[in-house]
């Protein structure tokens, strides 16, 4: 099997100009999955995936680490440096004094000496303790973003991660962070898909040199019922006209926008299908139709009930 080569972008504020493959494999667990994370990551490496998106809250760090160790043993990759591994700090550790040890714990679980990217998962802090999802609002405490970011910077200075960033940050929250950051965030990982195109946030990030990574690119992982993009008749027509699938139209659009993205599939064939987006393009006519898709955020927040000010009305 010939592995696909995925192009890379350089994270502007990372130490040593770390390069990130534009497409990564998501690893947020789904109860219905019959394939283990270890097997999926190993298969993905065989197919050419080099970027893996994990999080301590997903409970997959051990499996991702085992797959990487196995891939190295099998010689599928020559060294750990060929892989780009992201993990995320959960809200229970969103406190200045717990961040370095939380990352060290993630690294032990992953059996790695460093991460390529460490993200603040949500701009929320809760009392330290067990991972509970959705987060109970009664558990929320003040999020000291300045103190937290100082510790994130410390993680990069200590060499525990090559780059640091955030996830689910609005423009307003990024502006505040940029006002005191010594190391600006390399990445903001947020929901972007054809049903939530995030033009304004993307423009802001581009201007500030922050790479946007799109999560839920197929708008599928957490969706219930009809899917605004995968079940969209106009997109089905576009897909037919190109001899591609709707998923490939979704991913090609993200690629043409210059975004990085993490798509989750643990199915061998769909994993391969998702890599098949690099040698064709969308037309101007396609773009016209894409601009008419109804826009609505899928992932509205991690709390129960939802918070009013999480997205700062953006």
14 binds ligand NAP (CB under 6 A): no
Decide: 196 and 219 in contact? Cβ < 8 Å.
yes
268 binds ligand NAP (CB under 6 A): no
Residue 58 known to be catalytic: yes
**Cis preceding-peptide flag for 134 (omega within 30 of 0):** yes
Structure tokens at 67: 């797959």
CB of 70 to ligand NAP, least distance (A): 20
264 binds ligand NAP (CB under 6 A): yes
Minimum CB distance to ligand NAP smaller for 97 or for 269? 269
Choosing from 49, 58, 114, 255, the catalytic residue is 58
Contacts of 192 (CB under 8 A, 6+ apart): 198, 202, 212, 214, 215, 217, 254, 259, 261
CA atoms within 13 A on the CB side of 308: 0
Angle (CA) 193-197-198 rounded to 5° is 125
167 binds ligand NAP (CB under 6 A): yes
**Would you give the DSSP letter of residue 62?**
H
121 annotated as ligand-binding: yes
Structure tokens at 167: 């996830």
Q: φ, ψ for residue 20 (rounded to 5)?
A: -115, 125
Decide: 85 and 115 in contact? Cβ < 8 Å.
yes
Instruction: Match 């690099």 to its residue by tokens.
Output: 278
189 binds ligand NAP (CB under 6 A): yes
Minimum CB distance to ligand NAP smaller for 58 or for 114? 58
Minimum CB distance to ligand NAP smaller for 285 or for 296? 296
Q: Pick from 221, 236, 242, 278 the residue near ligand NAP by CB under 6 A.
A: 221
28 binds ligand NAP (CB under 6 A): yes
d(CA 291, CA 195): 10
14-22, 96-104, 123-131, 270-278 -> range binding ligand NAP (CB under 6 A): 270-278
- Residues between 280 and 299 that touch ligand NAP (CB under 6 A): 299
27 binds ligand NAP (CB under 6 A): yes
Distance of CA 189 to the CA centre of its chain: 5
Per-residue burial over 270-285, b if 16 or more Cβ lie within 10 Å, else e, is ebbbbbebeeeebeee
64-72, 77-85, 172-180, 257-265 -> range binding ligand NAP (CB under 6 A): 257-265
d(CA 227, CA 250): 13
168 binds ligand NAP (CB under 6 A): yes
220 binds ligand NAP (CB under 6 A): yes
Q: Which residue ranges make up the annotated binding site for substrate?
A: 121
Positions marked catalytic:
58
Q: Which residues bind to ligand NAP, rule: CB under 6 A?
A: 26-28, 30, 53, 121, 167-168, 189, 215-222, 245, 247, 262-267, 270, 273-274, 299
Q: Which residue ranges make up the annotated binding site?
A: 121
């Amino acid at each position: 099997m010939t592995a696909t080569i995925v192009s890379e972008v350089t994270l502007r504020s990372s130490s040593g100009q770390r390069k990130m493959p534009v497409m990564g494999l998501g690893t947020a667990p789904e109860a219905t999955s019959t394939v283990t994370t270890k097997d999926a990551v190993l298969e993905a490496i065989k197919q050419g995936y080099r970027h893996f998106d994990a999080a301590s809250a997903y409970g997959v760090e051990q499996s991702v680490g085992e797959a990487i160790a196995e891939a190295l043993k099998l010689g599928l990759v020559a060294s750990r440096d060929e892989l780009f591994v992201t993990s995320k700090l959960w809200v229970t550790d969103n406190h200045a004094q717990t961040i370095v040890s939380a990352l060290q714990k993630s690294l032990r679980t992953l059996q790695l000496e460093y991460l390529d990217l460490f993200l603040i998962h949500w701009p929320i802090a809760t009392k330290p303790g067990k991972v509970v999802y959705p987060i109970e609002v009664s558990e929320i405490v003040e999020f000291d973003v300045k103190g937290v970011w100082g510790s994130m910077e410390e993680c990069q200075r200590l060499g525990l991660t090559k780059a640091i960033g955030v996830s689910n940050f609005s423009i307003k929250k990024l502006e505040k962070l940029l006002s005191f950051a010594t190391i600006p965030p390399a990445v903001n990982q947020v929901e972007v898909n054809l049903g939530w195109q995030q033009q304004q946030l993307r423009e802001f990030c581009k201007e500030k040199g922050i790479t946007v990574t799109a999560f839920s690119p197929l708008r599928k992982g957490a969706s219930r019922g009809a899917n605004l993009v995968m079940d969209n008749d106009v997109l089905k027509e576009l897909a037919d006209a190109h001899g591609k699938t709707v998923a490939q139209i979704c991913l090609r659009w993200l690629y043409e926008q210059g975004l990085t993205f993490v798509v989750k599939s643990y199915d061998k064939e769909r994993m391969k299908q998702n890599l098949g987006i690099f040698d064709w393009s969308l037309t101007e006519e396609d773009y016209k139709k894409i601009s008419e898709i109804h826009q609505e955020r899928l992932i509205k927040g991690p709390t129960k009930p939802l918070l009013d000010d999480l997205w700062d009305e953006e």
